[in-house]
Amino acid sequence: MSEKKTKRRDFLFTATTAVGAVGAAAVVWPMIDQMNPDASVKALASTEVDVSSLTPGNTLTVLWRGKPVFIRRRTQEEIDEARAVKMEDLIHPEKDEDRAKNPEWLVMLGVCTHLGCVPLNDKGDYNGWFCPCHGSHYDTSGRIRKGPAPWNMEVPKYEFVDANTIKIG
Amino acid sequence: MKNLFKLFSIIILIITSNSNSFAAEKVEYLKTDWSFKGLFGKFDRASLQRGYQVYTEVCASCHSMKYLSYRNLAEPGGPEFSEAQAKAIAASFEVTDGPNSDGEMFTRPGKLSDKFVMPYDNVKAAQAANGGAYPPDMSVLVKARGGGVDYIYSLLQGYEEAPSNVTLDDGVYYNKYMYGNKIRMAAPLSEGLLEYGDGTNATVEQMSKDVTTFLMWSAEPHLEARHQMGFKAIVYLIILTVLVYFSMKRIWSRVESEV
Amino acid sequence: MSDHDYRPKSKVGQWFNDRLPLLTLANHLTDYPTPKNLNYWWTFGGILTFCLITQIVTGLTLAMHYIAHADMAFESVEHIMRDVNYGWLIRYIHANGASMFFLAVYIHIFRSLFYGSYKAPREIIWIIGIIIYLLMMAAAFMGYVLPWGQMSFWGATVITNLFSAIPLVGEGIVTWLWGGYSVDNPTLTRFFTLHYLIPFLILGLVVLHIWALHVPGNNNPVGIDIKKPSKDTVPFHPYIVIKDGFALLMFMIVFAFFVFYAPNILGHADNYIEANPMVTPAHIVPEWYLLPFYAILRSVPDKLLGVVAMLSAILILAVLPWLDTSKIRSAVFRPLYKQFYWILVADVLILGYVGAMPAEGLYLLIARVATAYYFLHFLVILPVLGFKEKTLPVPLSITEPVLGGSPNLAAARNKESKIE
């Protein structure tokens, strides 16, 4: 067998294998992608919440995308406490002004950023939230202050439709 | 090799001819040129949008379409209304939601994620309102009828005076293409029944074609994606088959030369 | 099998292989001496493996979205078809995959019938194959029930009612199968459970099927015993692998055509109507691959005997190695058997055809004649043929078939190449 012939044969086998591998990979993708959120889940509506009955110092918990959302109507004391914290004291520095555009209202996902448990209201060393699973303490702005959680509790997209209605999502 | 081909084609022929013959009585359906047939078949967007208009203004008063959502109207491969149009369509329907914090159900304007609003609350209500006949859900109707689109298209235009030897009860109509010729639905379409937004002349034939196209899409919303992917898949397979064929010849030449 | 003395080259390989001889197994599978004259009818074993894996993978993914509940099954299928990413593709592959699976298995079975692959020493392979085939039918039937359409519901009703033909305990068995007084939610959930289980049973049996095959080695178109390894054989890899791969790709083109361009042609329109216990569809017909047996069932006017006839039609295959008395395997050297073979093929196709037709008039008559012939073939023709038939001389090996250049042999080879 001449050298030229060998090369051509190698090319044919390489091409066949390569084309076959591409096809196999293309077939695998639908089987993986089917586990991603489907069209109906992605289209899931935003939730509108009536907060007229919420008095200062209380928290309303609503379900949005299968997760609890805390809506806290904060007292002036809590706001002052949250705004007085120095940035360098924070594990995940975020200004309270950025987290609560309307200082009276704090809206955030009630999910501990450590491993996803739901923190308890009015608990912990910082008068905010305390996660019973692994002991993360959050302040009155929902920021992580102590414990294993790496980030502050997430603030979702929301807006006031009118004075008494918050639309989450 | 050739035999294998022959066998495949014979079997496929038998299978396909068999399954067609299940629609026992052979009726010649009316034919029209469906844009979605064939290797590259796609829906005619304008026809789908008109079809939706026919559905919502005529059919929807009795027939539900419970597996469709308003968001589908804006999805690619469908009527492709703009997002704003689809939102407006959804908002024009009253959707029952709830219970609210007082435990009461309430109505609100529809959203894109809502399913199509049903004309009746349940099957019994639908039967009661239609003299005992249940207007079937239309979501997959095209696939649920042996003749498919041609059958629906023909049925809509198949209303006739009953022949003298056929007696019809009250609320029963004669239709040339209906199985058994008796149908509980009065002729739903008539010339100029509605005015198309795009100025197309609303003949019975045109409306039948548009609404049938719409029903085909509602039964098979991913038809366009399927055709596109199918073409690519088959071209790919043919290329790979050719490559493997030559590889095989090359490999087998080692033994065949010995024989 | 002389590959037990295989030793991996690397130290790590040896260490591992001494503890779990997977590498020995891999070596056995790649080097496995295969007759070099296997034609394309032999590629369907590989194709069937592909079908099984495809059904299992697509089935697993569908099961992630499907809801086995009488009120939600139909809707969940529509959810798969509309909303799940590539759900329509996966479901159409699964639904048409069942048909492709049966298409391949029928070719595989009829290949075996033609070349006498069921004969000694391969009876166990054959019987395992028949069990796999029975399990396939069970899996296909139960899978067809899952979408909970009209055909699902009424198919389930009709098939489970077959058991009511059993004297005395029949009714009790049917109620037990249903978990109620009709096909309903308990029936659906247990069918789903079993539909999920059976493919893995089949997978296990396939391993046994192949294991049993690797003891005597493949039969071949000439049907003679060959020395292994020898000039008559080639190693499984790469020769058979690439040939199987080529045939598989051709098969996949047909498969793809159905999936992408005619995904519903093999199904029944009625199954897109949600199950309704109050209305039976006008034409109740099983899937095409069960039609021949359905025809046999209907051709017998007695309920119990009909069921017995249908079951016998399948079970008779299990004793086929002993019904066929001929010493010669391949039909290539059995001129009479070859003709009866093709008559049987036609007979089964006819049974399939009349199975799809209404059971009345001429169709019923044809079904009865065809049913009678089916049993005649196995119970009378085959045993007698073994004694009466004058077979052609059989070559001694594949490579050197001509012993003294007998003209008969040349004719035989000619015929053989025609079949390929």
Contact C326, C334 (CB under 8 A): yes
Q: Which pLDDT does position B10 carry in this prediction?
A: 62
Q: How far apart are CA C400 and CA C402, in angstroms?
A: 6
Q: How far apart are CA C101 and CA B4, in angstroms?
A: 16
Q: Which pLDDT does position B131 carry in this prediction?
A: 84
**Please, which residues have CB within 8 angstroms of residue C59's CB and are 6 or more apart in sequence?**
C94, C143, C195, C196, C199
pLDDT band at A52 (very low <50, low <70, confident <90, very high): confident
Task: Indicate whether C5 pLDDT > 60.
Answer: yes
Cα angle: B151, vertex B155, B158; to 5 degrees: 130
Record: contact B250-A12, CB cut-off 8 A = yes
Contact list in B for residue C357 (CB cut-off 8 A) is 21
Task: Indicate whether C288 pLDDT > 90.
Answer: yes
Contact A92, A145 (CB under 8 A): no
pLDDT band at A162 (very low <50, low <70, confident <90, very high): confident
> What is the three-state SS of chain C?
CCHHHCCCCCHHHHHHHHHCCHHHHHHHHHHCEEECCCCHHHHHHHHHHHHHHHHHHHHHHHHCCCCCCCCCHHHHHHHHHHCCCCHHHHHHHHHHHHHHHHHHHHHHHHHHHHHCCCCCCCHHHHHHHHHHHHHHHHHHHHHHHCCCEHHHHHHHHHHHHHHHHCCCCHHHHHHHHHCCCCCCHHHHHHHHHHHHHHHHHHHHHHHHHHHHHHCCCCCCCCCCCCCCCCCCEEEHHHHHHHHHHHHHHHHHHHHHHHHHHCCCCCCCHHHHCECCCCCCCCCCCCCHHHHHHHHHHHHCCCHHHHHHHHHHHHHHHHHHHHHCCCCCCCHHHCHHHHHHHHHHHHHHHHHHHHHHCCCCHHHHHHHHHHHHHHHHHHHHHHHHHHHHCCCCCCCCCCCCCCCCCCHHHHHHHHHHHHHC
Record the pTM. Answer: 0.90
Query: Average pLDDT for residues C356-378, to the nearest whole number?
Result: 94
Residue type, C50: F
Query: Average pLDDT for residues C241-261, to the nearest whole number?
Result: 97
- Measure in Å the smallest separation between the Cα of B219 and chain A Cα atoms: 17
Q: Which pLDDT does position A1 carry in this prediction?
A: 44
Structure tokens at C46: 């590989």
Q: Which pLDDT does position B192 carry in this prediction?
A: 87
Task: Report the neighbours of A using a cutoff of 3 or more CB pairs below 8 angstroms.
Answer: B, C
The closest of B86, B63, B41, B2 to B217, measured between CA atoms, is B41
Q: How far apart are CA C380 and CA C125, in angstroms?
A: 24
Contact list in C for residue B245 (CB cut-off 8 A) is 246
Q: How far apart are CA C415 and CA C32, in angstroms?
A: 28
Query: How does pLDDT run along chain B (259 residues), one tens digit per residue?
Result: 555 556 556 655 555 555 544 444 567 899 999 999 999 999 999 999 999 999 999 999 999 999 999 999 999 999 999 999 999 999 999 999 888 878 999 998 998 999 999 999 888 999 999 888 899 999 999 999 989 999 999 999 999 998 888 888 888 999 999 888 899 999 999 998 999 999 999 999 999 999 999 999 999 999 999 999 999 999 999 999 999 999 999 999 988 644 3
Q: Which pLDDT does position B259 carry in this prediction?
A: 37
Q: Which pLDDT does position B256 carry in this prediction?
A: 66
Contact B115, B68 (CB under 8 A): yes
With the C-alpha atoms ordered B123, B129, B135, B137, is the resulting torsion angle positive or negative? negative
Residue A99: phi and psi, rounded to 5, are: -85, -35
Pick the residue from chain C with its C-alpha nearest to A23.
Answer: C249
- Measure in Å the smallest separation between the Cα of C12 and chain B Cα atoms: 31
In B, residues 169-188, which contact C (CB 8 Å cutoff)?
A: 179
Element (H, E) at B47: helix B45-57
Query: Average pLDDT for residues C211-231, to the nearest whole number?
Result: 92
Q: Residue B46, exposed/middle/buried by CB under 10 A (0-12, 13-18, 19+)?
A: middle
Element (H, E) at A151: none
Pick the residue from chain A with its C-alpha nearest to B75.
Answer: A39
Q: Which pLDDT does position C401 carry in this prediction?
A: 54
Q: Is the peptide bond before B99 cis (omega within 30 degrees of 0)?
A: yes
Q: Which pLDDT does position B26 carry in this prediction?
A: 63
DSSP structure class, residue A153: P
Q: Residue A11, exposed/middle/buried by CB under 10 A (0-12, 13-18, 19+)?
A: exposed
Query: Mean pLDDT over all residues of chain C?
Result: 92
- Give chain A's radius of gyration (CA, Å): 26
Residue type, C209: H
Q: Residue A63, exposed/middle/buried by CB under 10 A (0-12, 13-18, 19+)?
A: exposed
Q: How far apart are CA B73 and CA A117, in angstroms?
A: 38
Record: contact A19-B243, CB cut-off 8 A = yes
B246 part of contact set with chain C, CB < 8 Å: no
Task: Indicate whether C292 pLDDT > 60.
Answer: yes
Pick the residue from chain C with its C-alpha nearest to A28.
Answer: C57
Q: Which pLDDT does position B7 carry in this prediction?
A: 59
- Closest CB to C40 among B1, B179, B238: B1
Q: How far apart are CA B104 and CA B116, in angstroms?
A: 22
* ipTM at complex level: 0.90
Query: Average pLDDT for residues A112-123, to the nearest whole number?
Result: 93
Contact list in B for residue C291 (CB cut-off 8 A) is 18
Percentage of chain C beyond pLDDT 70 is: 94
pLDDT band at C10 (very low <50, low <70, confident <90, very high): very high
Structure tokens at C182: 């009709």
Contact C260, B230 (CB under 8 A): yes
Contact list in B for residue A13 (CB cut-off 8 A) is 247, 250
Q: How far apart are CA B51 and CA B202, in angstroms?
A: 11
pLDDT, tens digit (0-9, with 9 covering 90-100), for C88-114: 999 999 999 999 999 999 999 999 999
Structure tokens at B164: 């003298």
B176 part of contact set with chain A, CB < 8 Å: no
Task: Indicate whether C404 pLDDT > 60.
Answer: no
Percentage of chain A beyond pLDDT 90 is: 68
